[in-house]
Amino acid sequence: MRRSLQNEGVLLYAFTCGYITLPTSYFIGGEAGKTKVPACVFLIDHPNGLALFDTGFSDRFVGLEQGLGKIVDMPQEHPIAERLRAMEVDPADISWIINSHLHLDHAGGNHLLPNATVIVQDSEWRFGFSGEDGAYATEDFDTGQTIRRISGEHDLYGDGSVILFPTPGHTPGHQSARVRTATGEAVLAGDCCNFRRSLDEMRMPDQVYNADHYRGSLTRLSELRRAGAQIFYGHDPDFWATVPQGETLDLGA
Protein backbone atom coordinates (compact mmCIF):
# COMPACT_ATOMS: atom_id res chain seq x y z
CA MET A 1 0.00 0.00 0.00
CA ARG A 2 1.41 3.35 -0.95
CA ARG A 3 -0.03 6.81 -0.64
CA SER A 4 -0.18 8.55 -3.99
CA LEU A 5 -0.44 11.99 -2.38
CA GLN A 6 0.37 13.29 1.08
CA ASN A 7 -2.72 15.48 1.12
CA GLU A 8 -5.34 12.78 0.61
CA GLY A 9 -6.32 13.02 4.25
CA VAL A 10 -7.63 9.93 5.97
CA LEU A 11 -8.06 6.66 4.12
CA LEU A 12 -10.11 3.84 5.61
CA TYR A 13 -9.86 0.08 4.95
CA ALA A 14 -11.93 -2.85 6.24
CA PHE A 15 -10.98 -6.46 6.98
CA THR A 16 -12.70 -9.54 8.33
CA CYS A 17 -10.50 -11.15 11.00
CA GLY A 18 -12.39 -14.33 11.84
CA TYR A 19 -16.00 -15.34 12.44
CA ILE A 20 -18.00 -16.58 15.40
CA THR A 21 -21.30 -18.47 15.45
CA LEU A 22 -23.58 -17.58 18.35
CA PRO A 23 -27.31 -17.46 19.18
CA THR A 24 -28.82 -14.61 17.17
CA SER A 25 -30.35 -13.18 20.36
CA TYR A 26 -26.78 -12.34 21.49
CA PHE A 27 -26.84 -9.72 18.73
CA ILE A 28 -30.50 -8.75 18.48
CA GLY A 29 -33.03 -9.57 21.14
CA GLY A 30 -35.82 -12.09 20.90
CA GLU A 31 -34.67 -13.92 17.76
CA ALA A 32 -34.30 -17.67 17.44
CA GLY A 33 -31.52 -19.64 15.81
CA LYS A 34 -27.84 -18.91 15.39
CA THR A 35 -25.89 -16.53 13.18
CA LYS A 36 -22.30 -16.65 11.97
CA VAL A 37 -20.95 -13.11 12.24
CA PRO A 38 -17.70 -11.49 11.13
CA ALA A 39 -15.14 -9.87 13.43
CA CYS A 40 -14.65 -6.47 11.78
CA VAL A 41 -11.37 -4.57 11.75
CA PHE A 42 -10.50 -1.18 10.23
CA LEU A 43 -7.20 0.35 9.20
CA ILE A 44 -7.08 4.14 9.44
CA ASP A 45 -4.33 5.63 7.28
CA HIS A 46 -3.62 9.21 8.36
CA PRO A 47 -0.60 11.23 7.15
CA ASN A 48 0.62 11.26 10.79
CA GLY A 49 0.44 7.51 11.37
CA LEU A 50 -1.48 4.26 11.01
CA ALA A 51 -4.16 3.14 13.46
CA LEU A 52 -6.35 0.06 13.71
CA PHE A 53 -9.87 0.05 15.09
CA ASP A 54 -10.09 -3.37 16.77
CA THR A 55 -7.90 -6.34 15.84
CA GLY A 56 -10.30 -9.30 15.48
CA PHE A 57 -9.65 -12.78 16.76
CA SER A 58 -6.23 -14.02 17.79
CA ASP A 59 -4.17 -16.18 15.46
CA ARG A 60 -4.31 -18.84 18.21
CA PHE A 61 -7.70 -19.81 16.71
CA VAL A 62 -6.25 -20.79 13.33
CA GLY A 63 -6.79 -24.55 13.01
CA LEU A 64 -8.22 -24.81 16.55
CA GLU A 65 -11.11 -27.26 16.76
CA GLN A 66 -11.42 -27.68 20.53
CA GLY A 67 -13.20 -25.45 23.02
CA LEU A 68 -13.93 -22.02 21.55
CA GLY A 69 -12.49 -23.31 18.29
CA LYS A 70 -15.85 -25.04 17.78
CA ILE A 71 -17.61 -21.69 17.34
CA VAL A 72 -14.73 -19.51 16.12
CA ASP A 73 -13.69 -19.85 12.47
CA MET A 74 -10.29 -18.27 11.86
CA PRO A 75 -8.98 -18.89 8.34
CA GLN A 76 -5.21 -18.81 7.95
CA GLU A 77 -5.20 -15.51 6.07
CA HIS A 78 -7.45 -13.72 8.58
CA PRO A 79 -5.15 -12.73 11.47
CA ILE A 80 -4.64 -8.97 11.31
CA ALA A 81 -0.88 -9.32 10.70
CA GLU A 82 -1.61 -11.37 7.56
CA ARG A 83 -4.26 -8.92 6.42
CA LEU A 84 -1.78 -6.04 6.71
CA ARG A 85 1.07 -7.89 4.99
CA ALA A 86 -1.27 -8.72 2.10
CA MET A 87 -1.52 -4.99 1.46
CA GLU A 88 2.18 -4.36 2.00
CA VAL A 89 1.80 -2.82 5.44
CA ASP A 90 4.32 -3.95 8.06
CA PRO A 91 2.45 -4.78 11.31
CA ALA A 92 5.35 -3.09 13.13
CA ASP A 93 4.33 0.19 11.49
CA ILE A 94 0.98 0.40 13.25
CA SER A 95 1.20 3.25 15.77
CA TRP A 96 -2.14 2.90 17.55
CA ILE A 97 -4.74 0.27 18.31
CA ILE A 98 -8.15 1.65 19.22
CA ASN A 99 -10.03 -1.12 21.02
CA SER A 100 -13.79 -0.60 20.98
CA HIS A 101 -13.69 -2.97 23.94
CA LEU A 102 -11.54 -5.89 25.03
CA HIS A 103 -13.68 -8.94 24.18
CA LEU A 104 -11.78 -11.70 22.44
CA ASP A 105 -13.23 -10.95 18.99
CA HIS A 106 -11.98 -7.35 19.20
CA ALA A 107 -8.57 -7.47 20.91
CA GLY A 108 -7.25 -10.87 19.80
CA GLY A 109 -4.77 -9.46 17.30
CA ASN A 110 -3.30 -6.80 19.62
CA HIS A 111 -0.19 -8.88 20.27
CA LEU A 112 0.61 -8.97 16.54
CA LEU A 113 1.20 -5.19 16.45
CA PRO A 114 4.38 -4.87 18.51
CA ASN A 115 4.90 -1.11 18.35
CA ALA A 116 1.32 0.03 18.78
CA THR A 117 0.02 2.01 21.72
CA VAL A 118 -3.37 0.65 22.77
CA ILE A 119 -6.08 3.25 23.35
CA VAL A 120 -8.89 2.00 25.53
CA GLN A 121 -11.39 3.54 27.90
CA ASP A 122 -10.16 3.30 31.48
CA SER A 123 -13.42 1.70 32.67
CA GLU A 124 -13.07 -0.99 29.99
CA TRP A 125 -9.49 -1.77 30.95
CA ARG A 126 -10.44 -2.20 34.61
CA PHE A 127 -13.54 -4.30 33.84
CA GLY A 128 -11.50 -6.63 31.61
CA PHE A 129 -9.62 -7.88 34.66
CA SER A 130 -12.68 -8.22 36.89
CA GLY A 131 -13.47 -11.82 35.94
CA GLU A 132 -17.19 -10.93 35.66
CA ASP A 133 -17.46 -11.63 31.92
CA GLY A 134 -16.15 -14.76 30.19
CA ALA A 135 -15.69 -13.01 26.83
CA TYR A 136 -12.48 -11.39 28.07
CA ALA A 137 -9.18 -13.27 27.71
CA THR A 138 -6.43 -11.34 29.49
CA GLU A 139 -3.82 -13.09 27.33
CA ASP A 140 -5.28 -11.14 24.38
CA PHE A 141 -4.95 -7.66 25.83
CA ASP A 142 -2.49 -7.82 28.72
CA THR A 143 0.38 -8.02 26.28
CA GLY A 144 2.93 -5.55 27.65
CA GLN A 145 2.22 -2.93 25.01
CA THR A 146 1.90 0.70 26.06
CA ILE A 147 -1.69 1.24 27.19
CA ARG A 148 -3.25 4.69 26.97
CA ARG A 149 -6.30 4.68 29.23
CA ILE A 150 -8.71 7.45 28.34
CA SER A 151 -11.98 8.63 29.87
CA GLY A 152 -14.48 10.13 27.45
CA GLU A 153 -13.91 11.59 24.01
CA HIS A 154 -10.48 11.62 22.41
CA ASP A 155 -9.23 13.31 19.24
CA LEU A 156 -6.62 10.82 18.02
CA TYR A 157 -4.66 13.01 15.62
CA GLY A 158 -5.60 16.38 17.11
CA ASP A 159 -7.22 17.55 13.87
CA GLY A 160 -10.78 16.28 14.32
CA SER A 161 -10.41 13.55 11.70
CA VAL A 162 -10.69 10.61 14.11
CA ILE A 163 -12.75 11.09 17.25
CA LEU A 164 -13.20 8.30 19.77
CA PHE A 165 -16.35 8.57 21.86
CA PRO A 166 -17.87 6.41 24.59
CA THR A 167 -20.77 4.14 23.61
CA PRO A 168 -21.27 2.08 26.78
CA GLY A 169 -23.88 -0.59 27.41
CA HIS A 170 -22.50 -3.72 25.74
CA THR A 171 -19.61 -3.39 28.20
CA PRO A 172 -18.87 -0.61 30.72
CA GLY A 173 -16.16 1.08 28.65
CA HIS A 174 -17.20 0.45 25.07
CA GLN A 175 -16.19 3.16 22.60
CA SER A 176 -16.82 3.91 18.91
CA ALA A 177 -15.00 6.11 16.40
CA ARG A 178 -16.03 8.84 13.99
CA VAL A 179 -13.69 8.93 11.01
CA ARG A 180 -13.77 11.86 8.59
CA THR A 181 -12.47 10.97 5.13
CA ALA A 182 -12.49 12.93 1.89
CA THR A 183 -15.59 11.00 0.79
CA GLY A 184 -17.65 11.32 3.97
CA GLU A 185 -17.90 10.43 7.63
CA ALA A 186 -17.83 6.87 8.92
CA VAL A 187 -18.90 5.73 12.35
CA LEU A 188 -17.13 2.55 13.40
CA ALA A 189 -19.76 1.31 15.82
CA GLY A 190 -18.30 -1.85 17.31
CA ASP A 191 -20.74 -3.79 19.46
CA CYS A 192 -22.89 -0.86 20.56
CA CYS A 193 -24.84 -1.58 17.37
CA ASN A 194 -24.52 -5.09 15.97
CA PHE A 195 -26.86 -5.04 12.98
CA ARG A 196 -28.39 -2.41 10.73
CA ARG A 197 -31.74 -3.64 12.04
CA SER A 198 -30.57 -2.89 15.59
CA LEU A 199 -30.59 0.79 14.67
CA ASP A 200 -33.57 0.75 12.29
CA GLU A 201 -35.72 -0.85 14.99
CA MET A 202 -33.80 0.39 18.07
CA ARG A 203 -33.38 -3.16 19.32
CA MET A 204 -30.88 -4.36 21.87
CA PRO A 205 -29.42 -7.82 22.37
CA ASP A 206 -31.11 -9.99 25.01
CA GLN A 207 -28.19 -9.52 27.38
CA VAL A 208 -26.39 -6.26 27.86
CA TYR A 209 -24.19 -4.93 30.63
CA ASN A 210 -26.34 -1.82 31.10
CA ALA A 211 -29.60 -1.41 29.17
CA ASP A 212 -29.98 2.33 29.81
CA HIS A 213 -26.48 3.01 28.58
CA TYR A 214 -27.00 0.72 25.59
CA ARG A 215 -30.16 2.58 24.58
CA GLY A 216 -28.34 5.90 24.94
CA SER A 217 -25.54 4.68 22.67
CA LEU A 218 -28.04 3.53 20.03
CA THR A 219 -29.70 6.93 20.19
CA ARG A 220 -26.36 8.68 19.69
CA LEU A 221 -25.66 6.52 16.62
CA SER A 222 -29.11 7.17 15.27
CA GLU A 223 -28.45 10.94 15.47
CA LEU A 224 -25.12 10.54 13.68
CA ARG A 225 -26.75 8.47 10.94
CA ARG A 226 -29.47 11.06 10.48
CA ALA A 227 -26.76 13.73 10.17
CA GLY A 228 -25.31 11.82 7.22
CA ALA A 229 -22.64 9.54 8.68
CA GLN A 230 -22.30 6.01 7.35
CA ILE A 231 -22.56 3.55 10.21
CA PHE A 232 -20.39 0.43 10.11
CA TYR A 233 -22.44 -2.02 12.18
CA GLY A 234 -20.39 -4.23 14.49
CA HIS A 235 -21.40 -7.76 13.49
CA ASP A 236 -23.90 -7.56 10.61
CA PRO A 237 -23.11 -10.33 8.09
CA ASP A 238 -25.47 -8.95 5.42
CA PHE A 239 -24.19 -5.40 5.70
CA TRP A 240 -20.57 -6.56 5.89
CA ALA A 241 -20.95 -8.54 2.66
CA THR A 242 -21.39 -5.17 0.89
CA VAL A 243 -18.18 -3.67 2.33
CA PRO A 244 -15.12 -4.08 0.08
CA GLN A 245 -12.19 -5.70 1.87
CA GLY A 246 -8.69 -4.24 1.85
CA GLU A 247 -9.60 -1.41 -0.54
CA THR A 248 -9.98 2.29 0.15
CA LEU A 249 -13.57 2.72 1.34
CA ASP A 250 -15.57 5.25 -0.63
CA LEU A 251 -18.16 6.61 1.76
CA GLY A 252 -19.91 8.51 -1.01
CA ALA A 253 -20.60 5.33 -2.97
Q: To the nearest whole angstrom, how small is the minimum distance from the Cβ of residue 39 to Zn ion?
A: 7
191 binds Zn ion (CB under 5 A): yes
Q: To the nearest whole angstrom, how small is the minimum distance from the Cβ of residue 105 to Zn ion?
A: 4
Q: Shortest CA distance to 110 belongs to which of 142, 84, 85, 86?
A: 142
Q: To the nearest whole angstrom, how small is the minimum distance from the Cβ of residue 132 to Zn ion?
A: 17
> Binding segment for Zn ion among 7-15, 78-86, 103-111, 209-217 (CB under 5 A)?
103-111
Q: To the nearest whole angstrom, how small is the minimum distance from the Cβ of residue 135 to Zn ion?
A: 8
- Is the Cα torsion angle 240, 243, 244, 249 positive or negative in sign? negative
Q: To the nearest whole angstrom, how small is the minimum distance from the Cβ of residue 1 to Zn ion?
A: 26
Which x/- pattern over 125-164 shows residues binding Zn ion (rule: CB under 5 A)?
----------------------------------------
Helix (H) or strand (E) holding 230: strand 230-233
Cβ atoms of 198 and 31 closer than 8 Å? no
Q: How far apart are CA 42 and CA 52, in angstroms?
A: 6
Among 54, 73, 105, 236, binds Zn ion (CB under 5 A): 105
* Eight-state DSSP code of residue 5: -
Q: Which residues contact 131 (CB under 8 A, 6 or more apart)?
A: none
SS3 of residue 128 by DSSP: helix
124 binds Zn ion (CB under 5 A): no
> Binding segment for Zn ion among 7-15, 25-33, 100-108, 124-132 (CB under 5 A)?
100-108
The Cα diameter of the chain in Å comes to 49
Q: To the nearest whole angstrom, how small is the minimum distance from the Cβ of residue 221 to Zn ion?
A: 16
> Binding segment for Zn ion among 50-58, 89-97, 101-109, 147-155 (CB under 5 A)?
101-109
Q: Which is nearer to Zn ion, 46 or 170 (CB)?
A: 170
Taking the CA atoms of residue 56, residue 57, residue 60 and residue 65 in that order, the dihedral angle to the nearest 10 degrees is -150
Distance of CA 67 to the CA centre of its chain: 24
54 binds Zn ion (CB under 5 A): no
Residues that bind Zn ion (CB under 5 A): 105, 191
